[in-house]
């Protein structure tokens, strides 16, 4: 089973989450602050990180910035803040999902399952391998969750990759935010338009590092991929 790293300075929260994730069959490791989290990531190589924002030593946003320089490991943020600005900041830094305290351990486990289903290793039913997707200079490998522009590899989170993959299924088609939400989140999750906009901005920013800008905003509707 996948390994989940819980990062929170509250030992009670870590205990509750460890119990819930253990019961769901996940392997669990822990860290009590941001600095310890970075050590555990190197040591344990988790498949997903549950990351509190407000912590001593190094807060969750700084941990995320640090990790996103070299890793696309899925991150679910936890925070006592119920401010949309904080939620958007976490997502724009590269988080895959966000839960506000207090929350149900069952909800956290459901989010972990949903994010991991979007991650590497998921193979389409009916055949042994999902074919590569190409649109001009943009190429995706849906099985390995890898992407390239003009041969330059780009690293996306599972959520970002899911959105780009959806846009690539029909270049030129305008996808509504609801359609992109459906590709990136379970239907039972309530996700705001601003959440999807944040993920799309992250995708655009990463493409921009190699001089690419293939995604067009269709105001009032959603997004489309140019017929590159």
**Cβ–Cβ < 8 Å for 180, 222:** yes
pTM listed for this prediction:
0.65
Mean pLDDT of all residues belonging to the chain: 85
Q: Higher pLDDT residue, 209 or 93?
A: 209
Does domain 3-117 correspond to CATH entry 3.40.50.720? no
pLDDT at 92 over 70: yes
Q: Where in the chain is the domain with CATH 1.10.10.10?
A: 133-225
**HSE value, Cβ hemisphere, 13 Å, CA-based, for 114:** 20
pLDDT at 86 over 70: no
User: What CATH number labels 133-225?
Assistant: 1.10.10.10
Mark 15-43 as b/e (b = at least 16 C-beta within 10 Å).
eebbebbeebebebbbbbbbbbbbebbee
Q: Higher pLDDT residue, 131 or 170?
A: 170
Query: What pLDDT digit, counting tens, does each position of 47-72 carry?
Result: 999 999 888 888 898 999 999 888 88
Environment class of residue 201 by beta-carbon count within 10 Å: exposed (0-12), middle (13-18) or buried (19+)? middle
Least confident of 93-97, 121-125, 218-222: 121-125
Q: Where in the chain is the domain with CATH 3.40.50.2300?
A: 3-117
């Amino acid at each position: 089973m996948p390994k989940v790293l819980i990062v929170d300075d509250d030992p009670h929260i870590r205990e509750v989450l460890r119990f819930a994730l253990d019961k769901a069959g996940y392997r669990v490791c822990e860290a009590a602050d941001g600095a310890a989290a970075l050590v555990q990531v190197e040591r344990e190589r988790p498949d997903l990180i549950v990351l509190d924002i407000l912590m001593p030593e190094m807060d969750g946003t700084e941990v995320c910035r640090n990790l996103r320089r070299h890793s696309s490991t899925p991150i679910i943020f936890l925070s006592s803040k119920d401010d949309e600005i904080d939620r958007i900041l976490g997502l724009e830094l590269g988080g895959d999902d966000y839960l506000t305290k207090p929350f149900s351990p069952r909800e956290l486990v459901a989010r972990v399952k949903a994010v991991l289903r979007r991650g590497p290793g998921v193979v389409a039913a009916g055949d042994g391998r999902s074919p590569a997707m190409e649109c001009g200079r943009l190429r995706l490998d849906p099985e390995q969750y890898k992407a390239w522009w003009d041969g330059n590899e780009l690293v996306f989170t599972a959520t970002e990759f899911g959105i780009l993959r959806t846009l690539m299924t029909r270049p030129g088609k305008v996808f509504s935010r609801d359609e992109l939400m459906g590709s990136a989140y379970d239907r039972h999750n309530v996700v705001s338009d601003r959440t999807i906009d944040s993920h799309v901005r992250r995708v655009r920013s990463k493409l921009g590092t190699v001089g690419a800008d293939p995604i067009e905003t269709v105001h009032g509707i959603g997004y489309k991929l140019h017929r590159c």
